[in-house]
Amino acid sequence: MISQTEENYLKVLYNLTSLKGEASVNDISKQLDIKMPTVNSMMKRLAEKKLVVYESYKPLKLSVEGKKLAALIIRKHRLTEMYLVEKMGFGWENVHNIAEQIEHIQAPEFFDKMDELLGFPKVDPHGSPIPDADGNIASDNYLKLSDCKVGESVTFMAVQPSSEDLLKFLTSRELSLGLELKIKQIEPFDGSMVISYANKENEMLSSKVCDKLLVSKKSKKK
């Protein structure tokens, strides 16, 4: 058996390693706001459980098994977020904290039921892919809005990483997933972009925002 605490370490390690394949004790420490020695001993424990690859003074990796387990926790988190938004009427900026708790529920039938009621969704309310029941996750090959060029027209696919403040901001601008964004102008000085979408003309978005909006060029559906 694996505790909620251990699950949280796995999940954070999964997210941290998804970029470079490895992470440091220090990274996890900062992410979870837990002191390094605590993280260190937890990593040793998870290594004994064959979920983490640990060698003194070397970067941390998840084992294959650890990666699968983490993906299944993330599956529960994202299914829950989707359920909260689609079936219960919560806003996409209010579901993270609830999902953070519900992801630890041990009842496969509960999450299977959500999945079914939702029609087996592929992504969560923020556009992040939902791992399947075997822990396999589709890689979204989206690009950052901030990497696009003037004149391009792209589809808004995901927010990553999605903080509550950012999501509130996007809501206030009526910026929701699936919209066609037309890049009208890019300010060379600070990288902020002027975008048109839906019935909005020439809305200004800072580079900090554009950095977190993921888009696809050929407007994909589903």
Residue 97's binding partner, choosing from DNA, a second copy, none, with beta-carbon cut-off 5 to 8 A by kind? a second copy
Which amino acid, residue 99?
A: A
Q: How many residues bind to DNA according to rule CB under 7 A? A: 27
Q: Which is nearer to DNA, 29 or 153 (CB)?
A: 29
Q: For residue 183, give the nearest of 203, 169, 199, 198 by alpha carbon.
A: 203
Q: Does 12 bind DNA (CB under 7 A)?
A: no
Interface residues toward a second copy, by CB under 8 A: 84, 87-90, 94, 97-98, 101-102, 105-107, 109-110, 113-114, 117
Q: How far is CA 124 from CA 10, 45, 114, 146, in A?
A: 20, 31, 12, 22
Q: For residue 202, give the nearest of 219, 185, 188 by alpha carbon.
A: 185
Q: Least distance in Å: CB of 109 to a second copy?
A: 7
User: How far apart (Å, rounded) are the C-alpha atoms in residues 219 and 182?
Assistant: 12
Q: Which range binds DNA by CB under 7 A, 21-29, 125-133, 171-179, 193-201?
A: 21-29
Q: Which of 21, 37, 151, 178 binds DNA (CB under 7 A)?
A: 37
Q: Least distance in Å: CB of 89 to a second copy?
A: 7
SS3 213: strand
Q: Does 176 bind DNA (CB under 7 A)?
A: no
Beta-bridge partners for 61: 53
Q: Does 136 bind DNA (CB under 7 A)?
A: no
Residue 56's binding partner, choosing from DNA, a second copy, none, with beta-carbon cut-off 5 to 8 A by kind? DNA
Q: Least distance in Å: CB of 177 to a second copy?
A: 22
What is the secondary structure of 161-203 as a DSSP string? Answer: S--HHHHHHHHHTT--TT-EEEEEEE-TTT--EEEEETTEEEE
Q: Which is nearer to a second copy, 74 or 99 (CB)?
A: 99
What are the structure tokens assigned to 176, written together?
């929701």
Residue 106's binding partner, choosing from a second copy, DNA, none, with beta-carbon cut-off 5 to 8 A by kind? a second copy
Return phi, psi of residue 155, to 5°.
-105, 130
Q: Least distance in Å: CB of 95 to a second copy?
A: 10
Residue 136's binding partner, choosing from DNA, a second copy, none, with beta-carbon cut-off 5 to 8 A by kind? none
User: How far apart (Å, rounded) are the C-alpha atoms in residues 222 and 220?
Assistant: 7
- Contacts with DNA, residue ranges (CB under 7 A): 3-6, 24-27, 29, 33-38, 40-45, 54-59
